[in-house]
Amino acid sequence: MSDAAYYVPVPRPTTPTGPVDDVEIAVFRPTEHTVSTWGPHLQHGAPPSALLARAIDRHRPRPDTRLSRLTVELLGPVPLTDLEVRTHIERPGRRIELVVAELWATAPDGTDRPVARGTGWRLETIDLPQVARTSETPLPAPDHFEATAPHVFWKGGYIDTVEWRIIVPFGAPGLSSAWVRSEIALVEGETPSGLDRLMSVADVANGVGSKLDPREYTFLNTELTVHLFRAPEFREQDWVGIAAEMSVGPDGVGMTAGLLYDETGALGRIAQNVQVRSR
């Protein structure tokens, strides 16, 4: 197991990693750092989301495009077993294209099934700095806050790999907010890209925005959608800012909505479907 990454690349001796019938295939082994808050035998939503985003971002990249929207569907518990990542372009185009990646795992009965699916819209970019704007309020700088654990109940596995600087405490009225960053790489041997750094922690918006006590309730998100109106600008050790709030209906179904930041300012928005249950 790696002490410095969420995933370790695994060679595929029988079927070479690479494009096969227009589908690019690679295999990754999760480390103990991916373990979920909600159970010791499944992965936290953040590392698989980041692995899917990485695959989409790196599949046949074009310098004149960038990802503008990522949606991750968690099709069930993501197990702590080898994951096969299958990536292809579903809708090609000169100005707009849709890239799809899936995580496949082998079930206990030996059958293979997809456990998560990611889709990413890539849009053509042009040089148009005069139209750049955002109305989102900036977050105060991370160095104004001390390192703080998010909740005594949240510990071990993935949570222990994340450093937190809490701005507005979780559970407070309105938007709660925090600066967060992962202390390890997404894939062993790689320097994380800006998108890797963002997506390695974006899923914790559900926790940042929650108004519920995790000792009394679970609030598991089943998916996440990230819209990026600006390309992330992260350097090594930079922080990701999250401001979020959860809303829940009387039937235990809710959603988290929030803003995503780098240290330059707001760069996107996140939404997550949430299923709430009493413990």
Tell me which residue of 55, 56, 48 sits closest to 105, measured CA to CA.
48
Predicted local distance difference test score (pLDDT) of residue 153: 67
**What is the average per-residue pLDDT within 187-198?**
94
pLDDT of 73-104, one tens digit each? Answer: 999 899 999 999 999 999 999 999 999 999 99
Residues 6+ apart with CB under 8 A from 201: 46, 162, 180, 181, 182, 240, 242
Query: Among 33-42, 68-77, 187-196, which is the least confidently predicted range?
Result: 33-42
For 107, half-sphere exposure in the C-beta direction (CA atoms, 13 angstrom radius) is: 8
**What is the average per-residue pLDDT within 224-248?**
93
Residues 6+ apart with CB under 8 A from 186: 5, 6, 7, 47, 50, 51, 54, 192, 196, 200
Q: Give the confidence band of 236 by pLDDT, cuts at 50, 70, 90.
A: confident
Predicted local distance difference test score (pLDDT) of residue 17: 45
DSSP code of residue 35: B
Q: Give the confidence band of 21 by pLDDT, cuts at 50, 70, 90.
A: low
What's the predicted TM-score (pTM) here? 0.92
Q: Give the confidence band of 12 by pLDDT, cuts at 50, 70, 90.
A: confident
Predicted local distance difference test score (pLDDT) of residue 275: 94
Q: How far apart are CA 77 and CA 107, in angstroms?
A: 11
Q: Give the confidence band of 274 by pLDDT, cuts at 50, 70, 90.
A: very high
Q: How far apart are CA 176 and CA 243, in angstroms?
A: 6
The answer to whether the beta carbons of residues 233 and 97 sit under 8 Å apart is no
Predicted local distance difference test score (pLDDT) of residue 18: 47
Q: What share of the chain is helix, strand, coil (3-state, %, to 5)?
A: 15, 45, 40
pLDDT for 40 beyond 90: no
Domains of the chain plus CATH, in order, are: 5-125+139-278 (2.40.160.210)
Q: How far apart are CA 210 and CA 57, in angstroms?
A: 30
The label of the residue with tokens 């990522």 reads 70
